[in-house]
Copies of this chain bind each other. A is one copy, B any other.
Amino acid sequence: VEKIKIGLLGLGNVGSGVWNILNQNEDEIVNFLGKKLEVKKILVRNPEKVREINIPENILTTDIRQIIEDPEIDIVVEVMGGIHPAVECLKASLQNKKHVVTANKAAIATYGQELHQLALEQGVQLRYEASVCGGIPIINTLKNGLAANKIEEIVGIVNGTTNFILTQMSNQGMEFEEALKLAQDKGYAEADPSSDIYGEDAAFKLSILTSIAFNKNILPTEIPREGVTKISKKDIEYAFQLGYKIKLLATVARHKDFLECHVQPTLIPKTHPLAAVNDEFNALFVKGNAVGELMLYGKGAGSLATGSAVMGDILSIGKNIEIKAQTVTTKKKEDITLIGEGSGQYYVRFQVKDHPGVLGKIATLLGEYNVSLESVVQTGRNEERVPLIFITHEIERSLLNKALEEIVKYDEVIEIASIMKIKNL
């Protein structure tokens, strides 16, 4: 049987997954390709390191040239993670006319345009299904299955760590810190969880999705984002009473003359399928002008789930290896202005001193700014601090912010504890 040879860059969590799938599912792979796949070389930092998987020592190398300069290697698979030196390795591989598969969201989100251009020039394929939500085939679906659609909106739960935390807060009544601790104990959150909990990881993925679905390159740093650290158990309870669940959503939506794009905690109806996405699972809800509503749900991380997506890309390239065609979609650039948030319905929770008239005072000022209200909830009488929750009608966020700047000056107002968008999906 003919062989397709792979150079693997990195042998961590995802790299081991790829190795394991290659061995465990050899039959499926040969049946699909009609050829064998062989990992010829693996780039690692330390070849001496003791590993859980059994790898022949002679295929480990610390020198990337052993991979990119080897004419027998057809496909380079980058699973090192991080931006540097991953981007340099990706470029060097493409420059050496290797097809490239990567799972690296940070590199693709930040250098995607440049890497695509390079692949195009070199006539090789660049694939990165695993870079967004691990095992969920969202990129292939957007690029191929939905190719004839004008995409109107993508709303996703794209970060498993924060979804696990919110699920624990919601189902077990934990506070944020406790749920984060549990996520760390279970290996869903890293020792330094900042990239997850402040929304950076979600912004990487949203940047990639936006470039594919809207042909708009937005750097992850340009995406307005808010994490989950300010959400309290109380917010989750109040939201639930009002018929909502709180999820950290990555959103990109086409409006008449602008593109809405942001990462933020959002109240969604309890009955919506996204509300049933729990624990460490991810889901992407897509609206296309032909297909209507589509949702993809699965594991967004993990050695084998992410490895599955990497393998899918390797096999797609392997199937067309003779054809040095590029698969880059060159959509016409659309002239759309990016904006963060625009308008919406909002949930605002104040902590106030329990003085008579405070509710009326706040409501009156909101009215002066044309912020009209759908409902108001006041609970817990006769305490030092009482929560006061306002649900607004549709309104510009900027206008709401102006009103809130005034309200926060009132003596009776201790703090604005939460502002969250409500999305009546």
Give residues in A with beta carbon < 8 Å to B. 17, 21-22, 24-25, 27-29, 31-32, 34, 129, 135-137, 140-141, 144-150, 215, 271-273, 275-278, 281, 288-299, 302, 304-305, 307-309, 311-312, 314-316, 319-320, 323, 327, 329-332
Contact = CB atoms under 8 A, between A and B. Distances in A.
Contacts of A28: 147-150, 331
Interface centre among A129, A312, A319 (most CB of B within 10 A): A312
Q: List 5 tightest A-B contacts by C-beta distance, closest first.
A: A148-B311, A137-B145, A290-B308, A291-B308, A294-B298
B299 A297 contact: no
Give the number of copies in the complex. Answer: 2
A271 B137 CA distance: 24
A102 to B, nearest CB: 16
Given A148-B25, A329-B31, A305 B277 contact: no
A295 B294 contact: no
A295 B298 contact: yes
B273 A291 contact: no
A304 B316 CA distance: 28
Given A136-B294, A294-B298, A299-B293, A25 B150 contact: yes
A296 to B, nearest CB: 6
Nearest to A22: B148
Contact of A288 (B144, B215, B308, B316): B308
Contact of A290 (B31, B271, B277, B311): B311
A31 B129 contact: no
A383 B275 CA distance: 41
Interface centre among A147, A271, A281, A295 (most CB of B within 10 A): A147
A304 B291 contact: yes
A21 B149 CA distance: 8
B292 A299 contact: yes
B276 A148 contact: no
A148 to B, nearest CB: 3
Given A294-B297, A295-B295, 19 more contacts: A21-B290, A24-B289, A25-B150, A28-B331, A31-B332, A32-B329, A32-B331, A135-B294, A137-B141, A140-B140, A144-B316, A290-B307, A290-B308, A291-B299, A291-B308, A292-B304, A295-B296, A296-B297, A320-B320
Contact of A147 (B32, B149, B293, B304): B32
A362 to B, nearest CB: 36
A298 to B, nearest CB: 4
Contacts of A315: 144, 147-148
A34 B281 CA distance: 37
B299 A330 contact: no
Contacts of A298: 291-295
